[in-house]
A and B are shown apart, each in its own frame.
Chain A
Amino acid sequence: MTSIPVLAEFTLPEHWRSDRRGPVRWVFSYLRRQWLLAVLMTIGAIGNAALAAAVPVLIGRAFEAITAAPPQVNLLSGLAFMIAGTQIVRGILRFGRNSGAELIAQRIERDVRSELYTSLLGKSMTFHSLQAVGDTMARATNDVREVNYMFSPGLNLVLGSFYFMLMPLILAPTYHPALMLVPGLFMLFYFLALWQYLKELDPITTEVRRAFGQLNTRLAEALDGIETVKGMAQEDNEVVRFGNNARRFRDAFIKQGDVEARFLPLLLLGLAEATSFLHAMLLYRQGLIGLGDVVGYFGLIQLFGFPTFTSLFAYSQVSLGIAGARRILELINRENNLDQNASGYTGPALGAVEFRKVSFAYNDGEPALENISFSIQPGQTVAIVGQTGSGKTSLVKLINRTYDAAPGQVLVDGCDVRGWNLETLRRSVSIIEQDVFLFSRSIAENIAFGKPGASQAEIEAAAKAAQAHEFITSFKDGYQTVIGDRGVTLSGGQRQRLALARAFLTDPRILILDDSTSSIDSATEDKIQRAIYAAARGRTTFLITHRLSQIRWADLIIVLRQGKIAAIGSHADLMQTSEAYRRIFSE
Chain B
Amino acid sequence: MGFFSGLANEGYDRQYSDQQLARRIGSYLRPYTTTLLGIGGLLLATAITGAVTPIIVSRGVDMLGLQAEEMSIIVLFLIILGIGVINWGINWLRRRLTVRTLGNIELTLRTDAFKAAAEHDLSFYDEFSSGRIVSRITSDTKDFGNLVVLVTDLLSQIVQAIILGIVLFTIEWRLTLLLFSFLPVVFLTAFSFRRLARTVTRQGMRAMANVNAAIKETVSGIAVAKNFRQEASVYQEFAEANQQSYRVNVRRGIILALVFPTLNALEGIGTALMVYTGGSGAANAVVTAGAFYLFLQSMGRFFSPMLNLSAFWAQVQNGLSAAERVFALIDAEAAVTQNDNQPVPVLEGDIRFENVNFHYKREEAVLENFSLHIRPGENIALVGHTGAGKSSVAKLIARFYEFQDGRILVDGHDLRTLDLSAYRRQLGIVSQVPFLFSGTVLENIAYSQPEGVDRQAITALAHQIGDGEWLHTLPQGLDTEVGERGARLSMGQRQLVSLMRVLVQRPAIFILDEATASIDPFTEWQIQQALNLILKCSTSILIAHRLSTVKAADRIIVLEKGQIIEQGNHNGLLTQGGHYASLYNSFFRHQSLAYIDEARQMAQAEPAN
Contact = CB atoms under 8 A, between A and B. Distances in A.
Interface stretch (A174-182, A277-285, A370-378, A455-463): A277-285
Greatest chain B CB density within 10 A among A133, A140, A226, A242 is at: A226
B30 interface: no
A254 B448 contact: no
Nearest to B258: A95
A152 B84 contact: no
B170 interface: no
A297 to B, nearest CB: 12
Interface stretch (A80-88, A355-363, A407-415): A80-88
A212 B238 CA distance: 33
A66 interface: yes
Contacts of B117: 223
Contacts of A502: 228
Interface in B562-609: 585-590, 592-593, 595-597, 599-600, 602-604, 607, 609
**The 6 A-B residue pairs with the shortest CB-CB distance in the complex, in nearest-first order:** A87-B268, A270-B84, A257-B99, A518-B518, A388-B490, A91-B265
B74 interface: yes
B98 interface: yes
B224 to A, nearest CB: 5
Given A257-B102, A426-B229, A437-B224, 15 more contacts: A66-B292, A95-B257, A113-B242, A120-B219, A133-B219, A133-B220, A137-B219, A141-B212, A228-B435, A294-B61, A439-B234, A449-B230, A452-B230, A517-B518, A546-B520
Interface in A307-363: none
Given A76-B276, A430-B227, A518 B516 contact: yes
A87 B267 contact: yes
Interface stretch (B63-71, B316-324, B405-413): B63-71
Nearest to A437: B224
Interface stretch (A15-23, A26-34, A199-207, A528-536): A528-536
Contact of B275 (A62, A239, A294, A389): A62
A101 B493 CA distance: 53
A235 to B, nearest CB: 4
Interface stretch (B126-134, B180-188, B533-541): B126-134
Contacts of A88: 265, 268-269
Contacts of B232: 10
Contacts of B125: 223, 226-227
Contacts of B37: none
A219 B114 contact: yes
A109 B249 contact: yes
Interface stretch (B9-17, B195-203, B419-427): B419-427
Contact of B221 (A109, A439, A546): A439
B48 interface: no
A277 B60 contact: yes
Nearest to A258: B96
Contacts of A141: 212, 215-216
A367 interface: no
Contacts of A152: 253
A530 B603 CA distance: 4
Interface stretch (A164-172, A183-191, A578-586): A578-586
Chain A residues touching B, majority SS: helix
Given A223-B130, A223-B133, A86 B268 contact: yes
Given A94-B260, A129-B223, A230-B400, A526 B587 contact: no
Interface stretch (B151-159, B278-286, B376-384): B278-286
B607 A92 contact: no
A65 interface: yes
A467 B607 CA distance: 10
B263 to A, nearest CB: 8
Interface string B109-150: 011001101110010010000110110011000000000000
B447 A234 contact: yes
A484 B73 CA distance: 75
B76 A277 contact: yes
Interface in B243-266: 243, 245-246, 249-250, 253-254, 256-258, 260-262, 264-265
B118 A519 contact: no
26 contacts: A66-B279, A67-B65, A76-B280, A83-B268, A87-B271, A103-B250, A109-B246, A113-B242, A121-B225, A129-B223, A141-B216, A232-B448, A234-B450, A235-B421, A239-B118, A242-B114, A246-B114, A253-B102, A387-B470, A388-B489, A440-B213, A522-B595, A533-B600, A549-B596, A584-B524, A587-B593
Contacts of A80: 272-273, 275-276, 279
A221 B603 CA distance: 43
B103 interface: yes
Nearest to B492: A388
**Residue picked from B93, B221, B545, most chain A C-beta under 10 Å:** B221
A516 interface: yes
A389 B488 CA distance: 11
B304 to A, nearest CB: 11
A387 B522 contact: yes
Contacts of A233: 420-422, 424-425, 448
A215 B113 CA distance: 14
Contacts of B438: 217-218, 221
B129 to A, nearest CB: 9
Contacts of A522: 585-590, 595
Contact of B268 (A55, A388, A430): A55
A224 B485 contact: yes
A367 B137 CA distance: 45
Contacts of B134: 216, 219-220, 223
B402 interface: no
B34 interface: no
Contacts of B421: 233, 235-236
B521 interface: yes
B103 A250 contact: yes
Contacts of B273: 80, 84
A221 B485 contact: yes
A437 B258 contact: no
Given A87-B267, A110-B245, A233-B421, A266 B91 contact: yes
Interface in B76-100: 76-77, 80-81, 83-85, 87-88, 91-96, 98-100
B435 A105 contact: no
A270 B293 contact: no
Contact of A128 (B91, B110, B223, B436): B223
A39 interface: no
B340 interface: no
A508 to B, nearest CB: 10
A66 B285 CA distance: 9
A282 B74 CA distance: 9
B53 to A, nearest CB: 8
B519 interface: yes
A84 B268 contact: yes
A254 B114 CA distance: 21
Interface in A432-453: 433, 437, 439-440, 449-450, 452
A249 to B, nearest CB: 8
Given A229-B118, A254-B100, A285-B73, A520 B516 contact: yes
Nearest to B257: A98
Given A220-B131, A257-B98, A136 B590 contact: no
A476 interface: no
A429 to B, nearest CB: 9
A485 B213 CA distance: 8
Interface string B359-375: 00000000000000000
B118 A235 contact: yes
B596 A227 contact: no
B261 A95 contact: yes
A552 B521 CA distance: 12
B417 interface: no
B279 A65 contact: yes
B517 A231 contact: no
Contacts of B492: 387-388
A562 B76 CA distance: 83
